[in-house]
């Protein structure tokens, strides 16, 4: 019997970055990651194919599979062929790691014919991300927004969801994606800790439903602290964006706007790699 499974999970963008305070918030976007896993009877065999970025480090994918196998006491029995394909740019702040880990964990569960609760799936992905060194805080907010869709406001330290709510219908998401990647291991967390009081205030706004102001405040503060280009967000706001800011630790800038302003904003951003998508409320699950 062949043990195979597949799953799809979506990306997300930052409302509140959790590094400074341990409190975070993110919202789902329409970019997706598909994962397919085939288990083999060789616990030493792990082959990873990352179709959208073949040179990317495969450690996260391997750790996700190993974590699920360990959960069910099968790590001495199986290895895996793992394949992912995604339209989420890697290491740009668009939660590519969260989407990949959620999708891979779900794919392994399907291959095993096992079920786990939503929070167990998310937790297994977070633990794999820690082992792979692709997260600083565990990014519980990112993992939840990627998995559930909509806006999710969290306590990342306690791994608690404080609020969930859908965003307005019909919003357009515009993402400005610079060429450079920012790896979590290269982020100066000590410098960011000084943002705590202001980021806590932004998180309070997001908790009350004012994600637009929270996102804008967060993006400007983290962008300035990390030396990232905040002029992209300001230019988008000048041309009618509802909100805009640096996503995650950057360098991507995420913009939310109505359909009527989208073309003008894209033009104003002046070229480069621009992704145009929508918000996402769809939960992670089987590949259609």
Q: What is the pLDDT of residue 133?
A: 85
- Please identify, among 128, 150, 165, the residue that sits at the C-terminal boundary of a domain: 165
How far is Cα 5 from Cα 123, in angstroms, rounded to an integer? 19
Confidence tier at 177 by pLDDT (50, 70, 90): confident
- Is 187 found in the same domain as 70? no
8 Å CB contact between 255 and 284: no
- Residue bearing tokens 């890697």: 90
- Is 153 found in the same domain as 14? yes
Q: Does residue 214 surpass a pLDDT of 80?
A: yes
Q: Does residue 245 surpass a pLDDT of 60?
A: yes
- CATH number for the domain spanning 262: value is 3.30.70.890
- Is 260 found in the same domain as 191? yes
Q: Does residue 13 surpass a pLDDT of 80?
A: yes
Residue in 37, 52, 18 with CA at minimum distance from that of residue 101: 37
Mean pLDDT of 268-272: 81
Among 85-94, 158-167, 199-208, 231-240, whose mean pLDDT is lowest? 85-94
Confidence tier at 249 by pLDDT (50, 70, 90): confident
- Residue bearing tokens 């800011």: 245
Q: What is the pLDDT of residue 232?
A: 93
- Is 109 found in the same domain as 180? no
The pLDDT tens digits of the residues spanning 49-97 come to 999 888 888 999 999 999 999 999 999 999 999 999 999 887 666 788 9
Q: In 27-95, where does DSSP find H-type helix?
A: 59-71
Confidence tier at 163 by pLDDT (50, 70, 90): very high
Q: Does residue 183 surpass a pLDDT of 60?
A: no
- Is 193 found in the same domain as 160? no
The pLDDT tens digits of the residues spanning 117-156 come to 999 999 999 999 999 888 777 789 999 999 999 999 999 9
Domain that holds residue 250: 172-278
How far is Cα 70 from Cα 91, in angstroms, rounded to an integer? 27
Written as one string, the DSSP assignment of 153-205 is EEETTTTEEEEEEPPPTT-EEEEEE-S----GGG--HHHHGGGHHHHHHHHHH
Share of the chain above pLDDT 70, in %: 94
- Is 137 found in the same domain as 40? yes
- Is 105 found in the same domain as 33? yes
205 belongs to a structural domain: yes
- Please identify, among 165, 180, 204, the residue that sits at the C-terminal boundary of a domain: 165
Q: Does residue 2 surpass a pLDDT of 80?
A: no
Confidence tier at 184 by pLDDT (50, 70, 90): very low
How does 166-175 read in b/e, with b if 16+ C-beta sit within 10 Å?
A: ebeeebbbbb
Q: What is the pLDDT of residue 95?
A: 85
Length of the chain: 288
285 belongs to a structural domain: no
Share of the chain above pLDDT 90, in %: 77
Among 56-65, 174-183, 245-254, whose mean pLDDT is lowest? 174-183
Ranked by mean pLDDT, the top range of 19-33, 189-203, 242-256, 261-275 is 19-33
């Amino acid at each position: 019997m062949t043990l195979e499974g597949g799953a799809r999970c979506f990306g997300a963008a930052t409302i509140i970055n959790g590094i400074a305070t341990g409190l975070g918030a993110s919202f789902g976007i329409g970019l997706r990651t598909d994962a397919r896993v085939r288990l083999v009877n060789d616990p030493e065999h792990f082959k990873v194919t990352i179709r959208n970025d073949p040179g990317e480090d495969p450690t996260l994918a391997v750790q996700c599979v190993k974590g699920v196998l360990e959960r069910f006491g099968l790590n001495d029995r199986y290895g895996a062929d793992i394949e992912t394909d995604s339209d989420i740019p890697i290491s740009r702040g668009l939660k590519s790691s969260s989407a990949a880990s959620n999708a891979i964990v779900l794919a392994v569960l399907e291959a095993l014919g096992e079920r786990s609760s939503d929070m167990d799936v998310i937790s297994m992905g977070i633990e794999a991300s820690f082992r792979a060194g692709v997260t600083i805080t565990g990014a519980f907010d990112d993992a939840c927004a990627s998995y559930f869709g909509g806006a999710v406001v969290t306590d990342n330290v306690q791994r608690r969801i404080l609020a969930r709510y859908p965003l307005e219908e019909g919003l357009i998401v515009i993402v400005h994606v610079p060429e450079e990647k920012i790896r979590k291991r290269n982020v100066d967390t000590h410098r960011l800790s000084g943002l705590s009081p202001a980021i806590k205030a932004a998180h309070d706004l997001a908790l009350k439903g004012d994600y637009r102001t929270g996102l804008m405040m967060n993006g400007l503060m983290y962008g300035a602290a990390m030396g990232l280009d905040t002029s992209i967000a300001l230019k988008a706001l000048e041309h009618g964006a509802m909100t805009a800011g640096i996503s995650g630790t950057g360098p991507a800038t995420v913009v939310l706007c109505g359909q009527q302003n989208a073309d003008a904003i894209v033009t104003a951003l002046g070229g480069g790699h621009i992704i145009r998508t929508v918000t996402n409320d769809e939960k992670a699950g089987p590949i259609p």
